[in-house]
Structure 1
Amino acid sequence: MSDAPETSSTSADPHAAQRARRDTLAAEADELARRSARLSGLRGLLFLVALGSLGYGFFRSLPTLGWVLVALGWVVFIAVVAVHGALVTRESEVQTRLGIVDRSLARLAGKLPDALPHGPAAEPRHPYAVDLDVFGSASIFRLLDETRTTPGTTTLARWLGERASPAEIAARQEAVRELAGMPAFREDLATIGASAGTRGRPTEPLVTWAEAEPVLRGGFARTLVRAAFVLVPLTVGLFALSQGLGSALPPLLRRAYLVPFVLQVVVLFLISAKIQPVLAQAASKEAPFGRYRDLFARIEAEPLRAPRLVELRAALLGGDDGASACRELATFERVLGFVELRHSGLVHMLANVFLLWDVFCIAALERFRLRAGRHVRGWFKSLGEIEALASLGALAYEHPTFTFPVVEEGPPCFVAERLGHPLIPTRSRRENDLSIDGPGRGMLVTGSNMSGKSTWLRSMGLAAVLAQAGAPVCAKKLRMTPLSVRTSMRISDSLEQGVSHFYAELEKLKSVVDAADRDEPVFFLLDEVLHGTNSRERHIGARAVVVHLLDKGAIGAVTSHDLALADLEEQTGGRVVNVHFEEHVEEGKMTFDYVLRSGVVSTTNALRLMRLVGINVALPEA
């Protein structure tokens, strides 16, 4: 376990705490490296001395005391090897912990840590994941992800891809608050998970195997297993008797062991077809069997208080109807140790023929499946949720200025104070207020190029996504209702599928409109609607889309360079509010303050930008 102190709240300086933790680990790593180097030299010296003593003993006569000293030398050598092995294991663990703390320090410095392997990719047709950078190289998932198992990774990705109910969000928030103040527990989970190497390895094979019907359920198969439990002891006993008494026994009795032995071979022949697939799957080198025991043990050992965490931990402890996940998997690992003999070729064949090895292994595995099989899926579900909650807890711990939003049922609304983009470092992030309070309301965001319109839409969208995953959001306050986030921002054409840029945008807009037509509580974020067509049809089409969405009770925001849409505020009776970003020119240089202001933008900068980048053509004065 980690010896890092837990914090009582997220108000303590996380950067100072993590820096102190890193210094402690670095000092321990240096000390372990020095001790390892000394023990490595001592081990080599002891080996040479022990080997030399053994050789001397073979070529020179040694008294009994001399051989005792030689044996003692080898014992000391083996003990040093064991101690050195434990030291190397601890050294590896400390390096893993250093990497975990370094990832936290990177986030605290406003940087994205290196992406962990086997991360999810965004589904191209997802309602918002591509547009909002939920997954990918510079994504919110990369910022959050501290999961080290496949269940944890898939759970976190699923939470970011779908909205939860207000009750579920509240339960997650309470759990995240508790885990935010438990950096040592979170560090332990990540360390044990990284050491187990389970990320990217599917758990479904184990779950499917555990939930499958027993192969020995039929009467004939069970009879064969019972026969094995009688025949093997009988064969071994009769063989030992024949060898012990030898000629004292009548010739017929000296060969009596052959009768049960032949019956053993018959049993093996009859049952092999049933049991071999089960054993092969259990002993598969690709299966993650046995890798999760230490993770389950660490969770079971931690006293947790939040109701959701208590519920998840209870699922691992088993309660009255089953043993804990840790103890069951410990038993499972012991059985697998025997099953692994099947990879030993001739040894396995002899053990199987003479001792019915596979029959006894399958009987033990079947007992595990009958006793614990129905719980395995729940174990992995609990592990996945705890890991996902721990990742959200790390976000809360490292960003104490983020807030837990209020998400409650009611008419659609999204009201925020000092809302910002969570992927922009604090020192350069700009925060703004907004209020979309009531169904059928929205804002039209105008502004010049590079002024921050698209980033503002993504700030709004990511706040809604994080809020409905149970995470804190980059804002001072946020109040919202359950919303179906729908976006049309980043449009990609496809030569392979024969889809033009404009048609791809139409498909995205259709998905937004269709969601509103299904009476979903749509939160639309539309960037430069229909910018792939002529200005006349763009005006008509964009206006029609926005008005239709508002009439369906949707709420959201639209950005546009097209100032002709500014009269939507008047046309809709104030349901659309005009806001804008603007640029400033100081000493011939263009600057942006990214402050959201009321009204319609009064300046443009496209021609000025053309001159600044050096496009050498004749341009009129803007």
Structure 2
Amino acid sequence: MTKENYSTAFYKKRIEELTIELKKYTKRSRIWVAVRLISFLSIGILAYFTYPYGGYSALGIVATVILFLIFVRKSAENKDRLNYVKALIRINENEIKGSHHDFSSFDDGEEYINPQHPFSYDMDIFGKGSFFQLFNRTVTKKGEKALVKRLLNGIETPLESAEATDELKDKKEWYQDYLAHGSTLNKEATEVSIADLAKEKYPVKSWMKIMKIVSPILAFVAFAAYYFDFIGGIHFAIAAIIIFIPIRQSLKTTNQLHQSLSKVGFRVAAMRNQLMRMEQENFSSKLMKDYHKELFQAENNGKQGLTELSKLVKQAEFRNNILVAIVLNFFFAWDFRLLISMEKWNNQYASHVERWEEIVYEMEALISGAIFRYNFEKNTTAPSLTDKKDGAIELIKLGHPIIPLQKLVSNDFTLSSIQQFAIVTGPNMAGKSTFLRSIGVNLMLARAGFHVFAEKFVFPDMHLYSSMRTSDDLKDETSYFHAELLRLRFIVDAIERGENVFIILDEILKGTNSKDKEEGSAKFLQKLNQLEARGIIATHDLSLTNLANVYTSVVNKYFDTEINGDDISFDYCIRNGVAKNMNASFLLRKMGLIDS
């Protein structure tokens, strides 16, 4: 097994504690199965032996059914708790696997791979073994999308977000509980939206509100008359039919509402549990206080709305049993009550639901950042994003998060306020592309409101654009060279429409001959310089380094290699100046591809 990439002491201790709980709820689960079976069988037994006693039999059966439903509910609560404990154990086991650089338990975001995005394809953000798979701790599909949106687009208040993740990182048990409650459903099933339920309409007619009151009165009068022998069974049956006719008229609408409530039921329960955990916790960061205020202190807040909605879900669940549904509708006009309560809930809360969900899913993104911060606290820091486009760039001990710490070589990199572009040269495999991606990934993290893999990270708040890998497209008859030109045009368009852009380029114009490449690359960098763009380019064309002699805004950096006889070594450290050692011929000879 590989050496741990971060400490797992907390995770191992938590698993030990949770394993004890798991055994307890597993044992209770077996007991509840037996209790439910016995109570269910007792309904039939009671009905068989008490049938001759008429009304007394009916009362006994109703009481036994109610008792059975109570046992079913208690059993379900125990099962929920059991699943919750299992989810917590799974969360801690996955973190231990992650410490050994095994992130296979986390979604890799392959569906978000987009070669047309300004930087994500070049930076290997998504896919198997990607940065996203290392970072992602979301447990719902909507939470995952919230995280992806942050990473790809950045947020308006990244410093507030970083402050919140710093606070959350020390609340390990709290955020694990939050994730466990959210993971009670299959991740794909969490596409279910409570906001969609709030948009649906279930019309309530005025006569339903009247029948909500009249129907139960008639039912109890008819039952009492039958029980005390004022009327016979035929008359009681006629009365029951009269009571059920209006309920039958609304059955289609009520069934639709029942299905919708059943569909969101688990999601409502999970969100309600998450909100309960948030309400119980004290927060000091501005962002978390703002969320707390919206969810618990505002008028028609999330806690109230979800509590009332969960009652409606349970009210609808009683209809799952046909016998119970008949009894409840006969005595309490249950369907009318359900429709009227849903209308009232919609009028009061429908306009707020989308925002509640947004906060709940944003929390998963923040928790992903908090776990990243906790696991790599010694290697990460809060970034400083400045407002000025020409502000200084200062990166100290910058590294790429995906590289195991045992192999990681961190680097310093600076650009003063008068420096726009850095040209990075060096031999193959010396670390140029990895360094470029280190800058890109960390700038993405900074703008998304997360901590960066560096000791110090000062950067202007700039949109990231890159051109590091391009492919031809036979379907669209696009050559490699043409595709690369389109990519460069894409970047220039962003600059010319006024975006504040930082550009990362790796060996541009690879699809043409050496002379064209040399001249074209130089002229393109000159154009970027004239547009006052800022960025970094890696290249093997040493002639490009001459631009530093012409423009004070261009600086040269390089990576080096050391060749001793048949041995080659790399230190992966960036230096000021121009590379002098190249290793292509050596590597070709080493692989036996050319003669010595």
- The normalised TM-score by structure 2 is 0.83
CA distance in 2, matches of 1:342, 1:245: 29
CA distance in 2, matches of 1:91, 1:248: 51
Residue 522 of structure 1 contacts residue 554 of structure 1 at CA under 8 Å; is this kept in 2?
yes
> How big is the alpha-carbon RMSD for the aligned residues of Structure 1 and Structure 2?
3.9
User: 1:71 — aligned with what?
Assistant: none
User: 1:72 — aligned with what?
Assistant: none
Query: One-letter code of the match for 2:563?
Result: V
User: 2:368 — aligned with what?
Assistant: 391
Q: Deviation at 1:99?
A: 2.8
Which of 140, 162, 168 is the matching residue for 1:173?
Answer: 162
User: 1:150 — aligned with what?
Assistant: 141
Q: Deviation at 1:309?
A: 0.3
Which of 231, 240, 243 is the matching residue for 2:223?
Answer: 240
Structure 1 residue 23 corresponds to structure 2 residue 6: no
Residue 109 of structure 2 contacts residue 126 of structure 2 at CA under 8 Å; is this kept in 1?
no
Sort the Cα spacing of 1:585 and 1:248 in 2 relative to 1 into closer, same or farther, 3 A. closer
Query: One-letter code of the match for 1:301?
Result: Q
Query: One-letter code of the match for 1:210?
Result: A
User: 1:504 — aligned with what?
Assistant: 483
User: 2:181 — aligned with what?
Assistant: 192
Structure 1 residue 489 corresponds to structure 2 residue 468: yes
Residue 226 of structure 2 contacts residue 236 of structure 2 at CA under 8 Å; is this kept in 1?
no
Q: Deviation at 1:444?
A: 0.8
CA distance in 2, matches of 1:160, 1:35: 39
Sort the Cα spacing of 1:118 and 1:574 in 2 relative to 1 into closer, same or farther, 3 A. closer
Secondary structure, counterpart of 1:427 in structure 2: coil
User: 2:66 — aligned with what?
Assistant: none
Secondary structure, counterpart of 2:557 in structure 1: strand
The sequence identity of aligned pairs, in percent, is 24
CA distance in 2, matches of 1:349, 1:248: 21
CA distance in 1, matches of 2:390, 2:463: 10
Once the two structures are superposed, what CA deviation does each residue of 1:514-571 show, in whole Å capped at 9, x if it has no partner?
A: 1111121110001110101112221232222222222222111111112222212123
Sort the Cα spacing of 1:312 and 1:506 in 2 relative to 1 into closer, same or farther, 3 A. same
Q: Deviation at 1:485?
A: 0.2
Q: Deviation at 1:507?
A: 2.0
Q: Which runs of 5+ in 2 are unaligned?
A: 46-69
Secondary structure, counterpart of 2:472 in structure 1: coil
Which of 132, 138, 142 is the matching residue for 1:141?
Answer: 132
CA distance in 2, matches of 1:81, 1:308: 41
Q: Deviation at 1:408?
A: 1.9
Structure 1 residue 577 corresponds to structure 2 residue 555: yes
Q: Deviation at 1:297?
A: 1.1
Query: One-letter code of the match for 2:431?
Result: G
Sort the Cα spacing of 1:198 and 1:107 in 2 relative to 1 into closer, same or farther, 3 A. closer
Residue 352 of structure 1 contacts residue 358 of structure 1 at CA under 8 Å; is this kept in 2?
yes
Sort the Cα spacing of 1:182 and 1:614 in 2 relative to 1 into closer, same or farther, 3 A. same
Sort the Cα spacing of 1:356 and 1:20 in 2 relative to 1 into closer, same or farther, 3 A. closer
Q: Deviation at 1:193?
A: 1.8
User: 1:73 — aligned with what?
Assistant: none
Which of 454, 459, 462 is the matching residue for 2:438?
Answer: 459
Q: Deviation at 1:315?
A: 1.6
Question: Which shifted more, 85-94 or 103-112?
Answer: 85-94
Question: Which shifted more, 532-541 or 434-443?
Answer: 434-443
Q: Deviation at 1:136?
A: 1.8
Residue 91 of structure 2 contacts residue 176 of structure 2 at CA under 8 Å; is this kept in 1?
yes
Sort the Cα spacing of 1:550 and 1:349 in 2 relative to 1 into closer, same or farther, 3 A. farther
Residue 29 of structure 1 contacts residue 91 of structure 1 at CA under 8 Å; is this kept in 2?
no
User: 1:310 — aligned with what?
Assistant: 289
Query: One-letter code of the match for 1:302?
Result: E
CA distance in 2, matches of 1:423, 1:331: 45
Once the two structures are superposed, what CA deviation does each residue of 1:170-225 show, in whole Å capped at 9, x if it has no partner?
A: 21121111112211212211222223545652244x2032145x543xxxx44122
Secondary structure, counterpart of 2:369 in structure 1: helix
Once the two structures are superposed, what CA deviation does each residue of 1:251-295 show, in whole Å capped at 9, x if it has no partner?
A: 9xx9599589548625743x5565554443333379834332211
User: 1:589 — aligned with what?
Assistant: 567
CA distance in 2, matches of 1:43, 1:341: 20
Structure 1 residue 290 corresponds to structure 2 residue 280: no
- The normalised TM-score by structure 1 is 0.80
Question: Which shifted more, 288-297 or 391-400?
Answer: 288-297
Once the two structures are superposed, what CA deviation does each residue of 1:295-348 show, in whole Å capped at 9, x if it has no partner?
A: 1111111111111101112222143x12x5345323322322332455556875
Once the two structures are superposed, what CA deviation does each residue of 1:43-90 show, in whole Å capped at 9, x if it has no partner?
A: 99xx99xx9xxx9xxxxxxxxxxxxxxxxxxxxxxx999999988766
CA distance in 1, matches of 2:16, 2:578: 55
Residue 556 of structure 2 contacts residue 576 of structure 2 at CA under 8 Å; is this kept in 1?
yes
Sort the Cα spacing of 1:290 and 1:460 in 2 relative to 1 into closer, same or farther, 3 A. same
User: 1:4 — aligned with what?
Assistant: none
Sort the Cα spacing of 1:263 and 1:96 in 2 relative to 1 into closer, same or farther, 3 A. closer
Q: Deviation at 1:467?
A: 0.8
Which of 95, 100, 105 is the matching residue for 1:104?
Answer: 95
Residue 169 of structure 2 contacts residue 370 of structure 2 at CA under 8 Å; is this kept in 1?
yes
Sort the Cα spacing of 1:279 and 1:417 in 2 relative to 1 into closer, same or farther, 3 A. same
CA distance in 2, matches of 1:106, 1:139: 16
Once the two structures are superposed, what CA deviation does each residue of 1:123-161 show, in whole Å capped at 9, x if it has no partner?
A: 331111111122222222222211222332222111101
Count of residues in correspondence between the two structures: 563
Sort the Cα spacing of 1:552 and 1:342 in 2 relative to 1 into closer, same or farther, 3 A. farther
Sort the Cα spacing of 1:29 and 1:117 in 2 relative to 1 into closer, same or farther, 3 A. farther
